[in-house]
């Protein structure tokens, strides 16, 4: 059979811009904050129905206290490719009143439209194009749309890794970088909790009998800050502190929550050892540290580079230069890359304002993204 030209895919997708926009607007209109299971599952039910209408075999994966994750399988030739993303958002139910779905200046606004419901719509139109145009050598496609990415992916990680192991590649529909670039690296993310134990005493009558956990915590914050190396992308942030009971009591306990970002697993190991190696400065105090790197980095390895090269070739055939870059935040693509499956992230449409009131996507990029993704999927056989 004659291969389907990317330009033909683009023409087909352009004619279905209305379908794509309606799909995205419907998903955005179904608010789905990570911690509201009922709301997330309402959005998931609509998403499932639409995936079934496209011919997908849909499975709901129990999310426990979170919303149920949605897996959809579409038949095709080998190899299998995983399209990955999430439909939970950071916005509470009711945010639509402040951020109504609207078009303004060629942009589609709304809570969760950029991060990342437009990416889900793009993936759906891409798979629809492959099926309705009977594109030769179209791969088996599995979609996995999860419900707790914004809060750590605790209930979805096992499913993410299992689906990735059955795939030759993972394409992540998270938002693209500014200008539309793909993400070929992402930092790993760690969360640590430092507890300082001291000795309480009356601050006026017997201060010498106490050992202030708060004063010790101040020393530790300085020490923690000194561990980072921003020039290499290794950063630490003490984002929340607490401690003490009254101003006239020497504090016997204090806490600090610490965010760690690292570009490589080697850096993760070094920083974990350094944090666990912290020692108290003040007599009578002791330290307790818990946590770890829960989301490993997505490193720019050979598999990622090869995927990007194919994607850039496809984009060039569609008249655009697909650039690449790194991101300081993590995604579920970090998990798939860490287990050795080639992963390319940031394939969602151009836009801006993730987690911000001006969140939007560019309407002119939507059909192009769908055609680009469909053409990229049709080339996956080269990687098998």
Are 25 and 37 spatial neighbours (Cβ–Cβ below 8 Å)? Answer: no
What per-residue confidence (pLDDT) applies to 1?
A: 53
The predicted model gives 64-74 an average pLDDT of: 97
pLDDT at 362 over 90: yes
pLDDT at 310 over 60: yes
Residues in CB range of 375: below 8 A, 6 or more apart: 4, 6, 9, 314, 317, 318
Angle between helices 6-14 and 302-317 (to 10 degrees): 70
The predicted model gives 15-43 an average pLDDT of: 98
Q: What are the structural domains, with CATH classification, of the chain?
A: 6-187+297-383 (3.40.630.10), 188-295 (3.30.70.360)
- SS3 state of residue 32: coil
Q: Specify the DSSP element, H or E, that contains 140.
A: strand 139-146
Residues 104-135 pLDDT 10s = 999 999 999 999 999 999 999 999 999 999 99
- Model confidence band, residue 82 (pLDDT cutoffs 50, 70, 90): very high
Q: Percentage of the chain with pLDDT > 70?
A: 99
Residues 246-300 pLDDT 10s = 999 999 999 999 999 999 999 999 999 999 999 999 999 999 999 999 999 999 9
Q: Specify the DSSP element, H or E, that contains 266.
A: helix 265-276
Backbone angles phi, psi at 26, to 5 degrees: -65, -45
What per-residue confidence (pLDDT) applies to 384?
A: 63
Backbone angles phi, psi at 33, to 5 degrees: -65, 140
The predicted model gives 197-208 an average pLDDT of: 96
Rounded to the nearest integer, the mean pLDDT of the chain is 97
Residues 134-174 pLDDT 10s = 999 899 999 999 999 999 999 999 999 999 999 999 999 99
What per-residue confidence (pLDDT) applies to 60?
A: 98
Residue owning tokens 């129905």: 49
């Amino acid at each position: 059979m004659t291969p389907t030209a990317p330009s033909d895919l683009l023409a087909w997708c352009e004619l279905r811009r209305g379908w794509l926009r309606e799909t995205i607007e419907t998903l955005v209109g179904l608010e789905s904050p990570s911690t509201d299971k009922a709301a997330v599952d309402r959005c998931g039910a609509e998403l499932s129905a639409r995936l079934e209408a496209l011919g997908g075999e849909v499975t709901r994966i129990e999310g426990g206290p979170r919303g149920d994750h949605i897996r959809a399988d579409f038949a095709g030739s080998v190899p299998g490719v995983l399209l990955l993303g999430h439909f939970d958002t950071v916005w509470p139910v009711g945010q639509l009143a402040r951020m109504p779905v609207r078009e303004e200046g060629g942009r589609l606004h709304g809570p969760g439209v950029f991060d990342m419901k437009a990416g889900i719509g793009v993936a759906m139109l891409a798979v629809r194009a492959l099926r309705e145009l009977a594109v030769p050598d179209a791969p088996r496609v599995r979609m996995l749309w999860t419900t707790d990415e914004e809060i750590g992916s605790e209930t979805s990680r096992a499913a993410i890794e299992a689906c990735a192991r059955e795939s030759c590649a993972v394409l992540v529909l998270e938002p693209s970088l500014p200008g539309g670039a793909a993400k070929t690296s992402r930092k790993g993310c760690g969360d640590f909790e430092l507890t300082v134990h001291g000795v309480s005493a009356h601050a006026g009558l017997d201060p010498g009998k106490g050992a202030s956990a708060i004063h010790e915590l101040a020393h530790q914050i300085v020490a923690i800050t000194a561990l980072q190396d921003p020039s290499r992308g290794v950063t630490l942030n003490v984002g929340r502190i607490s401690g003490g009971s009254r101003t006239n009591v020497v504090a016997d306990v204090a806490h600090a929550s610490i965010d760690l970002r690292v570009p490589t697993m080697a850096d993760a190991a070094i920083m974990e050892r350094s944090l666990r190696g912290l020692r108290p400065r003040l007599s009578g105090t002791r330290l307790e540290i818990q946590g770890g790197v829960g989301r490993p980095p997505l490193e720019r390895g050979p598999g990622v580079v090869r995927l990007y090269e194919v994607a850039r070739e496809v984009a060039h055939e569609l008249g655009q230069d697909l650039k690449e870059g790194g991101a300081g935040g993590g995604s579920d693509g970090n998990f798939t890359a860490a287990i050795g499956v080639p992963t390319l992230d940031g394939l969602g449409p151009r836009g801006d304002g993730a987690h911000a009131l001006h969140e939007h996507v560019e309407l002119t990029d939507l059909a192009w993204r769908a055609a680009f993704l469909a053409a990229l999927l049709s080339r996956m056989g080269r990687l098998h």
